[in-house]
Structure 1
Amino acid sequence: MTHTFPVLSGLRIGHAGDPALKSGATVLLPDVPAVAGVHVGGGAPGTRETDLLRPEATVERVDAIVLSGGSAFGLAAADGAMSWLAGQGRGFAVGPVRVPIVPAAILFDLANGGDKTAVAGGGPSRYRAFGTAACEAAATTTTLGTVGAGTGAFTADLKGGFGAASAALACGATVQAFVAANPLGRATLGSTPHFRAAPFEIDGEFGGLGLPSPMPADAGAAVTKLGARAGGNTTIAVIATDLALAPAQATRIAAAAHDGLALSIYPVHTPMDGDTVFVLSTGRVPLRDPARDLTELSAGAAAALARAVARAVYEAAPAPGDPAPTWRERYGLTA
């Protein structure tokens, strides 16, 4: 069953991909340039324009954020988004020229059973086209599972995908997490169908199974994929909020949000993962009590990201040639 997820007001999201290639890209487009931050927590990242998001850097707002499969080839998806945005007159003004600011992060999906001949013969142009198509498809709702940057994603033993989750905060703001989950480790507790993120689940959004009792003996086993090869993994995410943040505050929230990966994946942040979390602030809700509001947002971002990871795995759809089953295939369970 395909679920539709409503995106935060002031933001649109688009996906593009190729099921035969088992890869794709996702673009998050704020209606107007948005404050952004980033934190890279994995040891094998593939990123673009992350240095520009340092709080001391000149440019404080971005025009889009791109998440893509394709390893280093996938960074070209940001070129497609950048060209599309330029055609819309978007970008940082430099004299008579506008330069769209498009940070990006990629995951490795080149060994997932898809037909990669098109990548070998022109990967950058393929992903550039995905970036453009994702911008053109951007909408105020999104589907979950085997779409966009999550098209070819896998965990250690199950198919991964694209996930999202949302929460309302007491300060009046909203926080949402969008993730392409392709980690080295597992999103479940051992070999059971129970998700590590179970304590944070809302309304049975990923099966409602809760935590297992007793805890399985292999819950702490460091099961990994691809022989724990460097660059073969990665979970990339965007935390979006309407709480008004300064660049330094967005950067701090990005770091705190990584706790959501630790709450939903094991092992995580390894030398073989490139885990990267961006933050986007549309700024529609004023920050009234920084200490209280930012603490609440830190917790909310981590919880939403943990839920989004579980939903990415839960919503994955099977496809020919998959190297691992979906959660529903393995456990014979349905939505």
Structure 2
Amino acid sequence: MNELKEIKFIDIDGIKLGHAEDEIGGTGVSVVIAKDGATGGVDVRGGAPGTRETDLLDPSEMVEKVHAVVLSGGSAFGLDASSGVMKYLEERDIGFDVTVAKVPIVCQAVLFDLAFKDPKARPDKEMGYKACINSETYSGDINGNIGGGFGATVGKLLGPDTSMKGGLGTYAVEVNGLKVGAIVCVNCLGDVIDPKNSEIVAGAFDRSTKTFLNSENILLNNINKEKTPFKGNTTIGIIVTNAKFTKAEAKKVSSMAHNGFARTMRPAHTMFDGDTIFTMATNKIESDVTTVGMISSNVMEKAILRAVKSAETLYGVPSLKGLASFE
């Protein structure tokens, strides 16, 4: 029987990963670079997305490959980080050849972290460029308060005062030469659940009683009341694989990977989340889209759990690791 072996996310053929943060402002950016290009797909399920260059990933559009995908904080302001990624790639002659220049194809999704620390601190061109530079030497497997997940929080149905720390998570596996990994910035409106026992891992948290409030119960108990939930959310991620796929197949992988969101976040894909998953296929090995999609949903699930389990309490926002000592 073939078994899945855990590997580092950066062990997937044809990619590099870089992070950068503004630790004082409370935001950050992560970038996955494929200098030789990767077949791209995307599936946007949330009702409030902030994205860049998702239209060209439609299977009917001309461009086949992307050179980088960016995940960042900063809400729509954070889309500026892609300019720094484009600068970095152009300097290295990486991009779609249009004869007079090579245009780097850079996609991006953002999350809302403006209420975390300083609302004037946003990922910009400089931070995007710095993340690319850092990708040249990054060899770790750091999760939690890093990159695009630095300012992420979860459980915000009642606002930031009952939120807990989210973060960035990665998880990757290999089986018979096939490699599939997930990177995700967890910043959801709802709670993060462990699918094994349906218990809340992190979410809406009463800091005085030190108890979880259960976001689904909050919604049910206020079913006849006007909904005014906190609007600053969104979980964003990327599936990376060394499989050979078309854009249509890459999109299907993104679609199946959303099962990982649904298993671990309750509720997921709300009108107040911009939940988005990209897929990057580096086209090194033949594989079946259904198999990769199945694995993708599993690694995304594990990456989400790793993000919140690795996060540290920051700026007074409690993390799972810090609950025991949180005052």
1:185 CA displacement: 0.6
* 1:264 and 2:267 are equivalent in the alignment: no
**What do you get for the CA RMSD once the two structures are aligned?**
2.5
- Give the match for residue 314 of structure 1: 309
- Residues 92-241 of structure 1 mapped to structure 2, 5 A cutoff: 92-112=96-116, 114-117=117-120, 119=121, 123=122, 126-138=123-135, 139-156=138-155, 157-169=163-175, 172-188=177-193, 196-198=194-196, 220-221=216-217, 228-230=229-231, 232-241=232-241
Asked if 1 retains the 8 angstrom alpha-carbon contact of 2:143 and 2:170, the reply is yes
Per the alignment, residue 273 of structure 1 pairs with 273
Alignment of 1:33-44 (within 5 A): 33-44=37-48
Taking a change above 3 Å as real, the CA distance of residues 20 and 218 of structure 1, as seen in their structure-2 partners, is: closer
Partners of 2:191 and 2:215 within 8 A in 1 = no
Please give the secondary structure, in 1, of the residue aligned with 2:168.
Answer: strand
Q: Does 1:18 align with 2:17?
A: no
| Number of residue pairs the alignment of both structures matches | 292
Give the aligned partner of residue 211 of structure 1.
none
Q: Deviations over 1:12-33 (max 9, x none)?
A: 1000011111101000011411
Counterpart in the other structure of 2:36: 32
Counterpart residue type for residue 279 of structure 2: V
- Secondary structure class of the residue paired with 1:258: helix
Task: Structure 2: give runs of 5+ residues left out of the alignment.
Answer: 1-6, 156-162, 202-211, 221-226
How far residue 66 of structure 1 moved from its aligned partner, in angstroms, is 0.4
1:192 maps to which residue? none
Aligned twin of 2:296 = 301
TM-score (norm 1): 0.81
Q: Give the aligned residue type for 1:182.
A: N
Q: Percent identity?
A: 36
Q: Which amino acid aligns with 1:178?
A: I
Q: Which amino acid aligns with 2:168?
A: F
Shift in alpha-carbon separation, 1:44–1:168, aligned structure 2, 3 A: same
SS of the counterpart of 1:32? strand
| CA offsets 1:4-61 (integer angstroms, 9 cap, x no match) | 9441132110000111111010000114111110000000000000001001111010
Decide whether the 8 Å contact of 1:10 with 1:282 is kept in 2. Answer: yes
What aligned pairs does 1:316-331 form with structure 2 within 5 A after superposition? Answer: 316-319=311-314, 321-322=315-316, 324-331=317-324
Q: For the residues of structure 2 that align with 1:272 and 1:220, how far apart are their CA atoms?
A: 14
Q: 1:74 aligns with which of 63, 66, 78?
A: 78
The separation in 2 between residues aligned to 1:199 and 1:127, in whole angstroms, is 40
Q: Which runs of no fewer than 5 residues in structure 1 stay unpaired?
A: 189-195, 201-205, 207-215, 288-292
Q: Which secondary structure does the structure 2 equivalent of 1:34 belong to?
A: strand
Runs of 4+ residues over 4 Å off in structure 1: 216-220
Secondary structure (helix, strand or coil) at the match of 2:165 reads: coil
- CA distance in 2 between counterparts of 1:158 and 1:241 reads 31
Q: Post-superposition shift, 1:95?
A: 1.5
TM-score norm. by structure 2 comes to 0.83
